[in-house]
Each structure stands twice: as structure tokens, then as C-alpha cells.
Amino acid sequence: MSGPVFAIRPEPGCSATAARGPQMGLAIEAWPLFEIAPLPWEPPPPERIDALLLGSANAVRCAGSGLDVFRGKSAYAVGKVTAAAAEAAGLTIAATGRGGLQPLLETVRPPRTLLRLAGEEHVPLRPPLGVVIDKRIVYRSAARPMPEPLAERLRQGGLVLLHSGAAARHFADECDRLGVPRTAVALAALGPRIAEAAGEGWRALRSASAPREAALLALARDMCHDPHQN
């Protein structure tokens, strides 16, 4: 598959993804098509919460002063970046996941009440028996129109990294709106649910082997060197 590789996730993640590209032999261009916006939320009484459950560093960044009453509590973080943000916010890391929130949640020993800070679009979870989740929505990802210079680049071909279902749907809509042929673009998705949200008709559409960015970038590298997709 010839052509450049594009990241479209919100900042600061978009630039972070682009910066990781050279480690995988990829030159990734950052074109964020989303902007993270905090939402007002009401923290539950801290004495009712045993630990926090965090699926994104954005949840920590957007929680604002509402997070202050939970300083010193433990947190289950989906990955290293989220764990670092949680530690910087005064939380103690109980565990850091490697394959999404559900496998991490299954390591929690009951009885526990977890405060889940999440975005408007979030993965549904199945808590183990004896584990209660109190969910609060603290941010949303606002879509931006695709700039014409990016659309023109994509008309010539390329590979786009998809980190969420919302990104997949918005990117597909923008390609159709601006006349970017789906047959010119290959997509590498963080998971099957995200790939399904992108729809059909793309030059190539594949899902990472695990919901981790390292796996997504490895997939992109393989797709770029696959002679059957050139």
C-alpha cells in the first residue's frame, strides 16, 4: 500500500501518535479532525468510591477540579499514558491495562465501587459480580470539518489510523462529502467495532490484533509493506 499515513485523533494524542511513527518505521502526519471539550459533571461522594476506572488520559485532563476530592485514591488505568496522567493528578495506580478496559476490570477484586470517568462515546463494560461502577461523563470529542488540503492528499491515496468509532464515522462522512474516493484510502482501525463503524468500499480495512496503539502502528506498518495492497 503506497502513500502517506495520517493520524486524525484529537490533540495531544494526534501529535503523540505521529511522534511514535518513526519507532515503527512510519512517517505519520498529524491532521486532528476532533477537539476534546470538557463537560460539566457532578462528583459522587468520595467516601462511596473505592477507586477510579480510567479509559483515557482525556478523562483525567477534563475532570478538572472535580477530581480533587479523589486525590490519594487508587486508579485502574487503561494504559501507560493514562496512568501517567492519573499519577500527575494525585492518584495512586492500582493497575495498568494492556488490552482495553474490560480485561483490566476483570482483575478488580470485589467488593469494590469504581468511579468511571469517560467520554460521551465509550465502550460498554460488564463488571464482575460484586463490582459496582458509578459512571460520569466528563468530556466529548467534537468533530471538525476535513480541511481541503487533507482531502486533496487523500484523493491521491494514503492510509488513515482510526482510534474510535466516532472517528471512523466522521472520517467516512467527510470523505463522501468532499468527494474523496473510498477506493483510494486504506484504513487501520484500533478494533473490529471501529472498523465496522467505517463502513465499506475502502481500498483496505483491517483491525489491530489488540486495542493498543503499538498494535495499531504495527498493523499500519504491515499494510504499508503488503504488496497485495499496492
Residue range 114-140, pLDDT digits in tens: 999 999 989 899 999 999 999 999 999
Asked if pLDDT for residue 32 goes beyond 80, the answer is yes
Instruction: Return the H-helix or E-strand segment holding 35.
Output: strand 34-38
Distance separating alpha carbons of residues 108 and 104, to the nearest angstrom: 7
Asked if pLDDT for residue 9 goes beyond 70, the answer is yes
Q: How many CB atoms lie within 10 A of CB 140?
A: 18
Side chain identity at residue 106, one-letter code: E
- Quickly state the pLDDT bin for 82 (edges 50, 70, 90): very high
Task: Dig out the grid coordinates for 104 from the structure.
Answer: 483490566
What is the pTM (predicted TM-score) of this model?
0.85
Q: Output the DSSP codes for 147-204.
A: PHHHHHHHHT-EEEEE-SHHHHHHHHHHHHHHT--GGGEEEEESSHHHHHHT-S--SE
**In this predicted model, what pLDDT tens digit does every residue of 44-76 receive, in sequence order?**
999 999 999 999 999 999 999 999 999 999 999
> What CATH number was assigned to the domain covering residues 36-141?
3.40.50.10090
Q: What mean pLDDT comes out for the span 9-25?
A: 95
Asked which of 13-17, 97-101, 155-159, 203-207 is least confident by mean pLDDT, the reply is: 97-101
Which residues of the chain does CATH 3.40.50.10090 include? 5-33+144-229, 36-141
**In this predicted model, what pLDDT tens digit does every residue of 188-208 receive, in sequence order?**
999 999 999 999 999 999 999
Q: Please say whether the beta carbons of 151 and 180 come within 8 A.
A: yes
What's the DSSP call for residue 6?
A: E
Distance separating alpha carbons of residues 144 and 201, to the nearest angstrom: 23
Q: Output the DSSP codes for 90-139.
A: TPEEEEE-SS-HHHHHTTPPSSEEEEEEEESS-----PPTTEEEEEEEEE
* CA angle (101, 199, 191) in 5-degree steps: 20
User: Which fold would CATH assign to domain 5-33+144-229?
Assistant: Rossmann fold (3.40.50)
Asked if pLDDT for residue 228 goes beyond 80, the answer is no
Residues 6 or more apart whose Cβ sits within 8 Å of residue 38: 62, 63, 64, 138, 139
Distance separating alpha carbons of residues 105 and 198, to the nearest angstrom: 27
